[in-house]
Amino acid sequence: MSGIVEGRVVIVTGAARGIGRGHALEFARQGAKVVVNDLGAEVDGTGSSDAAAAVVEEIEALGGEAIVNGEDVSDFDGAARLVQAAVDRFGDLHVLVNNAGILRDRMLVNMTAEEWDAVIRVHLRGTFAPLRHAAAYWRAKAKAGERVDARIINTTSSSGIYGNPGQGNYGAAKAGIAGLTVIAAKELERYGVTVNAIAPAALTRMTENLAPTGAGSSSADPDDIAPLVVWLSSAEARGITGRVFNVRAGVISVAEGWHAGPAVDKGGRWDPAELGAVIPALVDKAAPNALTNGQIPGRES
């Protein structure tokens, strides 16, 4: 098979179903060798299955190369074994797509500590651990004088970067992933590694029970997300790093992050009593927070 990522070795976490499955298959169609990582768990992270093996069979039926990997990406040592599995089987690693995730939705006043911890662990730690081990692998290669042209694509969400009630744990993890993406991009650029993130919207097991809220929920096919991820993994995307992209069906936009807005400088320490005449005016001048679909109220396109 030949394509835009011909010969590149790719790890996709959470690749047995939904968006991750779409990534794995499109990478294979475009010539990549794929490590299909998944525990085969339910949406809430419980249970297991051999669903990843079915994706490998699909890839092989296309004429591609793939292996199954069942490591828990939130386990630090397991993530190291995942990276090593790619290198052992295919001789190198070029792309890491952090896609694995679970849901334990609950309003804050009812959320348990276990529901919080489980989601933070799978999403945020489960992004950090593979990223950390892949980065160490590429750093060692760069320091040895080898040319590195590697990619990391993380998965954030409109729930994290714009906000969605009932998903405090999920949104906090996804906001953390967006922040980690920007920081990792700055740290790893010197080694030839780009780091970007996507905030996808598609109808999957994880979104089928959500009320439609714009970019946070959509009837779009989960396979529609893969083209952007595959392109970001290609040589053509070498100059793109530290960015978060909204993607839904055929719509792609760049998410513009936190930045300083209206300001006032007294030139010294404020008295709290003075701020009543200052802060409301600053807020009035500032753009309102984005809606869950990413649009600024009154500026929807």
Instruction: Give the pair of three-digit tokens for residue 289.
Output: 């927070």
Query: Which of the residues 33, 137, 162, 174 is marked catalytic?
Result: 174
Please say if 162 is a catalytic residue: no
Neighbour-count burial of 157, counting CB atoms closer than 10 A to its CB (0-12 exposed, 13-18 middle, 19+ buried): buried
For the residues of the chain, what is the DSSP string, one character each?
Answer: --STTTT-EEEEET-SSHHHHHHHHHHHHTT-EEEEE-----TTS----SHHHHHHHHHHHTT-EEEEE---TTSHHHHHHHHHHHHHHHS---EEE--------B-TTT--HHHHHHHHIIIIIHHHHHHHHHHHHHHHHHHTT----EEEEEE--HIIIII-TTBHHHHHHHHHHHHHHHHHHHHHGGGTEEEEEEEE---STTTTTSPP-GGG-----GGGGHHHHHHHTSGGGTT--S-EEEEETTEEEEEP-----S----SSPPPGGGGGGTHHHHHHHSPPPPPTTSPPTT---
Longest dimension (CA), the chain: 71
Identity of residue 154: N
Residue 157 annotated in active site = yes
Catalytically annotated residue among 170, 217, 218, 233:
170
Q: Is 170 a catalytic residue?
A: yes
Q: Which of 157, 158, 217, 234 is catalytic?
A: 157
Task: Give me the active site residues, please.
Answer: 157, 170, 174
